[in-house]
């Protein structure tokens, strides 16, 4: 099967450039080969030109090859093995993965790489492949893809007739040991005395009331209700243009932001066209959104209310309001529904960081020597503190890291890698709980992020200094 056949999908996108060729499908309409390719368009096709059964059979058949292609890419970039770090876990106890997982190009060391100019790295093709943008498991197709453990838990709690989040064409590409713990604990700014208010459960329609009645205000309680209530979405809806075997009631906010945190599901950004230029997105945690001022890695929406409304009207349908109308967009009422959802999100706290004092720096009485040394590097030689400012380790701004200085524009499995533009400084409080890292999840461990920033910021840290910096990041 050729690349174009893998990508071809009559009920999907024709968004221009390379995409127009992918849209000339072969299996469904052989005669299309002779036709002129359709002109570029920002819209997804509204009329289905193939039956659901035929689309499903065709895409199911293509799935093994698509997943194998992605697995090959991941193996080229990363060491995906299960190597837990000693003496440190996520908040509830899942091991943190240790070590640098990005594979180096042949013949260079990390030290050599960090001492080269960006031009030299670019011209000699030495930027490690894992530092490049990560494509979606099937970039040309895109859409929401959930981890298996989340799919299984929803099936168990809500039944699989109307809420099976399995896609017949795709699955998540990263192995579970590289993802956040599940279900993650949930902490409230209003009730720090309670600790984990989820009591070890995934909060859903089936248990939210029992868990929170008496702890939340009626408005916040209604907010949680709406955050766990499904709404139609591009891949999960009641029409034939979907990627679930059965018609689906849709997706809830907490299907991605599980327990107000993240389960590392994936998606494509809704704000870019054509398809090849869209970014893969790793799901950000909602812990600590109360102290943030910009929402979305690039959208820069200014309030939680705006982002909540935008998610269901915009992001759920890839920013296409035409297809949203067809599939049943859930219009939230601003004064009550949006406000209540935002009120609840605004009390989602960061997890405890017992070694930090009230200004967000390490308490020397509690921290180890390497952790203290790491803090010194973070604010000194490593320059991390110029963007990640305590107490929450964000400056609430966006920065352009200009990674395109280090590589030539290239296509990676249907994703055009050409620099990311300005991205929000994600807070580093609680960061050990939220692998993988960066907006698209291209980095797997905190060790990887240190190597990345060492090259990108040009800080020339020694091996020992990098270890200390990792030790510090794990305390946040």
Binding site for ligand HEC (CB under 6 A): 144, 251, 253, 255-257, 265, 267, 269, 281, 283-284, 286, 289, 292, 295-299, 304, 307-308, 311-312, 341, 345, 382-384, 386-388, 399, 401, 420, 423, 425-426, 428, 431, 434, 437-439, 446, 449-450, 453, 457, 459, 469
Assess contact for 167 and 260: CB atoms under 8 A: no
Element (H, E) at 277: none
Q: Parallel, antiparallel, or unpaired for β 398-399 and 84-89?
A: unpaired
Q: Which is nearer to ligand HEC, 204 or 425 (CB)?
A: 425
The two tokens of residue 110 are: 């990390």
Q: Which is nearer to ligand HEC, 121 or 377 (CB)?
A: 377
Q: Which is nearer to ligand HEC, 58 or 429 (CB)?
A: 429
Assess contact for 423 and 398: CB atoms under 8 A: yes
CB of residue 381 to ligand HEC, shortest distance in Å: 9
CB of residue 258 to ligand HEC, shortest distance in Å: 10
Q: How many CB atoms lie within 10 A of CB 53?
A: 9
Cβ neighbours of residue 91 under 8 Å, at least 6 residues apart?
181, 184, 185, 351, 352, 430, 433
CB of residue 239 to ligand HEC, shortest distance in Å: 18
CB of residue 200 to ligand HEC, shortest distance in Å: 22
CB of residue 246 to ligand HEC, shortest distance in Å: 19
187 vs 179: CA distance, rounded Å:
20
Is 270 buried (19+), middle (13-18) or exposed (0-12) by CB count in 10 A? buried
Q: Which is nearer to ligand HEC, 255 or 343 (CB)?
A: 255
Q: How many CB atoms lie within 10 A of CB 200?
A: 10
CB of residue 109 to ligand HEC, shortest distance in Å: 18
Q: Cα 262 from chain centroid? A: 8
Residue count of the chain: 476
- Helix, coil or strand: residue 216: strand
CB of residue 307 to ligand HEC, shortest distance in Å: 4
359 vs 395: CA distance, rounded Å:
15
CB of residue 250 to ligand HEC, shortest distance in Å: 9
CB of residue 74 to ligand HEC, shortest distance in Å: 18
Q: Which of 391, 401, 380, 408 is nearest to 449 (CA)?
A: 401
Cβ neighbours of residue 434 under 8 Å, at least 6 residues apart?
180, 261, 262, 284, 285
Q: Which is nearer to ligand HEC, 7 or 403 (CB)?
A: 403
96 vs 33: CA distance, rounded Å:
50
Q: Which is nearer to ligand HEC, 66 or 304 (CB)?
A: 304
Q: Which is nearer to ligand HEC, 6 or 338 (CB)?
A: 338
Q: Which of 311, 324, 151 is nearest to 234 (CA)?
A: 324
Q: Which is nearer to ligand HEC, 24 or 228 (CB)?
A: 228
Q: List phi, psi (to 5°) of 321.
A: -70, -15
């Amino acid at each position: 099967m050729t690349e174009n056949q893998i990508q071809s999908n009559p009920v999907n996108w024709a968004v221009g450039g390379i995409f127009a060729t992918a849209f000339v499908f072969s299996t469904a309409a052989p005669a299309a080969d002779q036709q002129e390719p359709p002109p570029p368009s920002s819209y997804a096709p509204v009329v289905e030109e193939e039956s659901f059964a035929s689309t499903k059979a065709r895409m199911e058949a293509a799935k093994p090859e698509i997943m194998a292609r992605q697995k090959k890419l991941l193996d080229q970039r990363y060491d995906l093995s299960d190597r837990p770090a000693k003496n440190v876990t996520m908040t509830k106890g899942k091991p943190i993965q240790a070590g640098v997982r990005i594979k180096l190009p042949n013949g260079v060391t990390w030290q050599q790489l960090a001492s080269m100019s960006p031009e030299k790295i670019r011209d000699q093709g030495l930027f490690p492949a894992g530092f490049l943008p990560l494509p979606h498991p099937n970039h040309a197709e895109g859409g929401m893809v959930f981890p298996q453990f989340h799919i299984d838990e929803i099936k168990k709690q809500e039944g699989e007739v109307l809420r099976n989040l399995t896609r017949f064409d795709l699955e998540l590409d990263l192995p579970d040991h590289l993802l956040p713990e599940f279900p993650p604990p949930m902490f409230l700014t209003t009730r720090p005395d309670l600790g984990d208010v989820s009591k070890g459960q995934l909060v859903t329609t089936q248990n939210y009331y029992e868990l929170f009645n008496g702890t939340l205000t009626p408005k916040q309680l209604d907010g949680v209700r709406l955050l766990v209530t499904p709404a139609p979405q591009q891949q999960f809806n009641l029409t034939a243009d979907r990627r679930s075997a059965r018609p689906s009631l849709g997706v809830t906010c907490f299907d991605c932001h599980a327990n107000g945190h993240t389960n590392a599901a994936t998606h494509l950004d809704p704000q870019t066209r054509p398809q090849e230029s869209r970014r893969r997105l790793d799901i950000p945690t909602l812990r600590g959104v109360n102290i943030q001022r910009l929402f979305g890695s690039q959208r820069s929406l200014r309030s939680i209310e705006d982002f909540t409304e935008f998610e269901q009207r915009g992001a759920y349908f890839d920013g296409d309001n035409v297809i949203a109308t067809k599939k049943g967009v859930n219009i939230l009422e601003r004064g009550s529904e949006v406000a209540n959802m935002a009120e609840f999100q605004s009390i989602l706290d960061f997890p405890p960081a017992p070694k930090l004092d009230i200004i967000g720096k390490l308490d020397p009485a509690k921290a180890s020597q390497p952790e203290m040394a790491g803090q010194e590097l973070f604010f000194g030689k490593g320059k991390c503190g110029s963007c990640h400012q305590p107490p929450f380790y964000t400056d609430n701004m966006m920065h352009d890291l200009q990674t395109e200085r280090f590589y030539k524009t290239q296509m990676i499995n249907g994703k055009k890698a050409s620099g990311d533009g300005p991205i929000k400084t994600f807070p580093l409080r609680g960061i050990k709980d939220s692998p993988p890292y960066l907006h698209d999840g291209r980095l797997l461990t905190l060790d990887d992020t240190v190597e990345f920033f060492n090259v990108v910021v040009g800080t020339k840290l020694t091996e020992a200094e990098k270890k200390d910096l990792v030790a510090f990041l794990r305390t946040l």
